[in-house]
Amino acid sequence: MLDISIVIPQLNEEESLPELTAWIERVMKEYQYSYEVLFIDDGSTDNSWEVIQKLSATNPMIKGIRFNRNYGKSAALHVGFQATSGKVVFTMDADLQDSPDEIPEMYKMITEQGFDIVSGWKKKRYDPISKTIPTKLFNWATRKMSGIHLHDFNCGLKAYRSRVVKSIEVYGEMHRYIPFIAKWNGFKKIGEKVVEHRARKYGHTKFGLERFVNGFLDLLSISFVHKYKRRPMHFFGSLGALSFLIGFLIVLYLVLNKMYHIYWALTPVHRDITDNTLFYVSLTILIIGVQLFLAGFLGEMMVTNSPKKNDYLVLERVNLQAQDLH
């Protein structure tokens, strides 16, 4: 097994690839690491793929995977993770804003200090204020919802123990939340290292402000899915029960209130319960409660019939072979 695998998603970064590759090679030789670099060409329209081919021809440790169109960073990372063979897997961006000189120290944190994940923290950034302020808000919200105390979830420079990246699935735009996904899969020793943030040397950023809106929606999605995907009735059933109870209490109040007024003859004319607007509010709440219950039952049926309902991660075995568990 190799010491290090470096997965680098890239889109139209032909100018920076030779310089980045030479930088990585220098660091690997200096520390005598066995390594591989996997460039994932995410549908580039420039000459990036030709550059990757030339680099691979001169160094067999440089490898490449090319998509037929742009699928996004999460897809690139997922494909790259499955192709790695190093015991420690690094990710970094291709724009030279991440420094390969940080690799040795992060490698030691994984191999010697026992971390499952080490995330870079670009404490001093060279981004405009229009990007830094939303980033701080995004990181604050993610810390609160995930319970993971990282300062920079979106930093592209991260190190993972190999079994972490082989055990998780990254899709959509979930690359920002890989530590969150890993935590839900039982990899809870997550560390952080202050890393250098370099100013962009070539090209321009591929991400706009919409990523913060999408990122917040993804955070809500991943929080819900990982908490309730195996027990949807706990979520929908609880809401359904609460809704049904509120509707029932309103109806009970209307009935008892009318009986009270009739018994004590407080009003000469007693209005029907169905003439009260509150009755239709309660009826709506009752119907919503029933619908939530049905959603929970349908969710449970889908989980029960899913072929992956028992896709639990087995970390290691003692005196057992894989087939002995079936």
Of 80-94, 186-200, 220-234, where does mean pLDDT reach its minimum? Answer: 220-234
Mean pLDDT throughout 89-112?
94
* Secondary structure (3-state) at 128: coil
**Beta-carbon count within 10 A of 279 CB:** 16
What is the distance between the alpha carbons of residues 48 and 221, in angstroms, rounded to a whole number?
Answer: 34
Top-confidence residue, 37 or 275: 37
Share of the chain above pLDDT 90, in %: 48
- Give CA 200 to chain center in angstroms: 25
Cα–Cα distance, 193 to 150 (Å, whole number): 10
The per-residue DSSP string of 185-209 comes to TT---EEEEE--BPPP-SS--S--T
Straight-line distance from the first to the last Cα atom of the chain, in angstroms, rounded to the nearest whole number: 29
Q: What is the pLDDT of residues 191-219, one digit of tens each?
A: 999 998 877 666 666 555 566 667 677 77
Mean pLDDT for 117-123 is 92
Res. 27 pLDDT band, cuts 50 70 90: very high
Interatomic CA distance for residues 280 and 273, integer angstroms: 10
Phi, psi of 65 (to 5 degrees): -130, 130
Q: What is the pLDDT of residues 229-252, one digit of tens each?
A: 777 888 888 899 999 999 999 999
Please determine, for residue 3, whether its predicted confidence score (pLDDT) is greater than 90: yes
What is residue 279's DSSP assignment? H
285-326 pLDDT tens trace: 999 999 998 998 888 888 677 666 555 555 556 655 555 545
pLDDT band at 141, cuts 50/70/90? confident
Q: What is the pLDDT, as a whole number, of residue 176? A: 85
Q: Report the pLDDT value the prediction gives residue 209, as an integer from 0 to 100.
A: 57
Please list the alpha-helical segments (H only) found in the chain.
17-31, 48-58, 73-83, 103-111, 129-146, 162-167, 178-184, 210-228, 232-263, 277-304
**Domain at 2-227: CATH code:** 3.90.550.10
Q: Kindly list the distances between the CA atom of residue 53 and the CA atoms of 60, 108, 299, in Å, as whole numbers in the listed order.
A: 10, 31, 47
Q: How confident is the model at residue 11 (pLDDT cuts 50, 70, 90)?
A: very high
For residues 100 and 268, which has the higher predicted lDDT (pLDDT)? 100
User: Would you state the pLDDT for residue 249?
Assistant: 94
pLDDT confidence of residue 263? 78
| 198, 97 contact by CB (below 8 A) | yes
Length of the chain in residues, anyone?
A: 326
> What is the pLDDT at residue 269?
63
Q: Enter the DSSP assignment of 315.
A: -
Model confidence at 79, in pLDDT bands (50, 70, 90)?
Answer: very high
How far apart CA 17 and CA 47 sit, in angstroms, is: 11
Q: At what angle do helices 232-263 and 210-228 cross, to 10 degrees?
A: 80
CA 93 to CA 88: how far, in whole Å? 17
Which pair of structure tokens corresponds to residue 45?
């329209």
Phi and psi at residue 5, in whole multiples of 5°? -120, 135
Pairing of strands 158-161, 117-121: antiparallel
Vertex 38: Cα angle to 149 and 80 (nearest 5): 60
Q: In the predicted model, what is the mean pLDDT of residues 242-266?
A: 87
User: Where in the chain are the domains?
Assistant: 2-227, 232-304
